[in-house]
A and B are shown apart, each in its own frame.
Chain A
Amino acid sequence: MKNKNQSDDPLEPGKFYILNNKYDEALKFFLNYLSNDPGNPEVYYHLGLIYETKNEIDKAKDMYEKVLSILPGHVFAKKRLDKLVGI
């Protein structure tokens, strides 16, 4: 039987690392996840967030662009990308 508190979201550990400012661990998690699921826009989005918080702006932009190439309606990626390019 499944615990009610258990999340169905397989990206949860990576998100947990991000929210706790453990960016290196989060980066490792999402890059590892990407090798198994290379077309997942949420993985690219979270990589974008990690790179942005680490001030690696070019890499962050690449990630948000990748999200939008897969899922053009991703509101959060669009918003972050617009901010980075100064729109």
Chain B
Amino acid sequence: MEIKKPRHCAVVGLGVFGSNVVKYLHELNVEILGIDKDERKVDSVKQFLKLPIVGDATDVKQLQEAGLTAENIDVAIVAIGESVETSIYVTLLLIEMGIKRIIARALNNQHAKILAKIGVDRIIYPEANAAEQLARSLVSPNIIEEFELSPEYSITEIVAAKSFYKKSLKELAVRAKYKVIIIAIKRKTPILVEDTGETDLKEEIILVPDPEEEVIEGDILIVAGKNQDIDKLRSLQ
């Protein structure tokens, strides 16, 4: 099923998580209706909101009057972080109102299970995800970022092994030897800033690198493949 880019989103709850969602959506040119009962929280992000609303999201009449309806909103994000009960209640209201797509933030495992049962389209568990990523990065310092494609497959950023330096991708034959694909290389290249004469670093991403591209010291390889194959590549020195 094709998921169209949402043009109109509602973010319910404008704490740290909700306000960051608002900022990133705004950067992506999405029109946002933001609601929180705390006026200060609404004020802090009102420049990014098409419709800033100070109000009670548990009041269906207030939501509808504010414009949060199935006709106006493509996706609603329940970012409430203070109360599990309020989050569940608001999520249920949004489902009953017929909002097409609902994404909800879970505060704990039990909360996540209930959200799944009531039928939200996607559950976000930011604390657990960040904790897992932190733990994995501490145990495997060569892993920087990881994106799970399925329980078996991932896209992972790994620091290029020393044995890769000054060798081309063709020579390394990573796909044949390790069964993973290098989809991009992240590189920091030293540059001289003309105006100031200062040395700085330019960050670049070489997408779908050419087979003749050489790996240099400090390169970060973005690889896709089976987790066990990525682990083998990661363990190289």
Give the B-binding residues of A (Cβ under 8 A): 15, 18-19, 21, 23, 45-46, 49, 52-55, 76, 80
Contacts and interface: CB of A to CB of B under 8 A. Distances in A.
B199 A21 contact: no
Given A49-B190, A55-B159, A18 B217 contact: no
B192 A54 contact: no
Given A18-B190, A52-B188, A53-B190, A23 B217 contact: yes
Contacts of A49: 190, 199-201
A18 B217 CA distance: 12
Contact of A76 (B188, B190, B198): B198
13 contacts: A18-B190, A21-B216, A21-B217, A45-B199, A46-B199, A49-B190, A49-B199, A52-B201, A53-B188, A53-B190, A55-B220, A80-B200, A80-B201
Best-surrounded residue of A18, A53, A80 (most CB of chain B within 10 A): A53
A43 to B, nearest CB: 12
Contacts of A21: 190, 216-217
Contacts of B193: 76
B199 A54 contact: no
Nearest to A18: B190
Interface in B178-202: 188, 190-193, 196, 198-201
Contacts of A52: 188, 201, 218
B218 A53 contact: yes
Interface of B: 159, 188, 190-193, 196, 198-201, 216-218, 220
- Among all A-B residue pairs, the 6 with the closest Cβ atoms: A53-B218, A18-B190, A55-B218, A53-B188, A19-B190, A55-B159
Nearest to A21: B216
B228 to A, nearest CB: 24
Instruction: Select the residue from B188, B190, B218 with max chain A CB neighbours within 10 A.
Output: B190
Contacts of A18: 190, 199
B217 A19 contact: no
Q: Which of A15, A19, A21, A55 has the most CB of B within 10 A?
A: A55
A79 B53 CA distance: 35
A15 B199 contact: yes
A23 B217 CA distance: 9
A75 B192 CA distance: 15
B211 to A, nearest CB: 21
A21 B190 CA distance: 8
Nearest to A19: B190
A84 to B, nearest CB: 11
B200 A76 contact: yes
A1 to B, nearest CB: 24
A55 B216 CA distance: 12
